Amino acid sequence: MSKQLTLGFSPCPNDTFMFYPLVHNLVDTGGISCRERLEDVETLNQLALAGELDISKVSYHALGHIRDEYALLRSGSALGRGCGPLLVATDNIDLSDLRGRTIAVPGRYTTALLLLRLFDPSLDNFIVMPFNEIMDAVLKGNADAGLIIHESRFTYHGYGLHKLLDLGEWWEAETGLPIPLGGIVARRSLGAETIATVERALRSGVEYARSHPEQAAHYICEHAQEMSAEVCAAHIGLYVNDFSSDLGDEGVQAITYLLKRAETAGIIPESAMPLFAGSD
């Protein structure tokens, strides 16, 4: 008998690309069907914090707040190199001059904001808004700088904005590790067996998508919010990689270290729960 689970992911091309095979039953789901819910990443973070989804894409920052209730899956992550959030402004402001000035950010629980707080804990004047409104807010003078994610890193030049900081470059230079941005979590109460079934199906889906990239094109475009085909392709190329199929030792090390840094800084609570299900 089929077991239906709620599945949350974003309309960003990397997510729709990876989840297309799973939600369209192009791979063996092990008897699980998914009722999809597409929302921006900060909305997904909030839904997971409220415990409203069985499986969801979340920011790794948000994971730090929900580890007691949700376990991380080894497939489906956005994690890599050269893909970090950027801090931009209309002028080349010195970073030391940003203290006390307003910074538009894409969400309280985004990894982008976590990285910025780790980079400079003195920055604290944040305005939260949807990620796709940040560049306009900076241009209109509603914020002194903006923390941009997703496809904005490919388009900010066209807005006449200047890059002040690449938090991915900073993280990689600081740690030597890839940047953990977001991952897929499953509610622990589903049980280890169901979570393992979901994980197998998701891994199969990611591998299917990477082997048949053309099949998801219509689904991706349907949700891509007027993004050009070139930007869609660049987005997928940057955020879908070998770590998406399986985190591997290096990916796990990067996530564990990020969460430990956030714990030490007092940004997320400590948790005695293992990162993955079945690791107790």
Residues annotated as catalytic are: 150
**182 - beta bridge partners?**
59, 78
Q: How far is CA 138 from CA 129, 134, 149, 158, in A?
A: 12, 6, 14, 13
For residues 49 and 52, what is the distance between their CA atoms, to the nearest angstrom? 8
For residues 275 and 280, what is the distance between their CA atoms, to the nearest angstrom? 9
- Burial of 266 from C-beta contacts in 10 A (0-12 / 13-18 / 19+): exposed
> What residue has token string 């030049």?
157
Phi, psi of 127 (to 5 degrees): -115, 120
Those residues whose C-beta lies under 8 Å from the C-beta of residue 18, and which sit 6 or more positions away, are 76, 202, 205, 206, 209, 240, 244
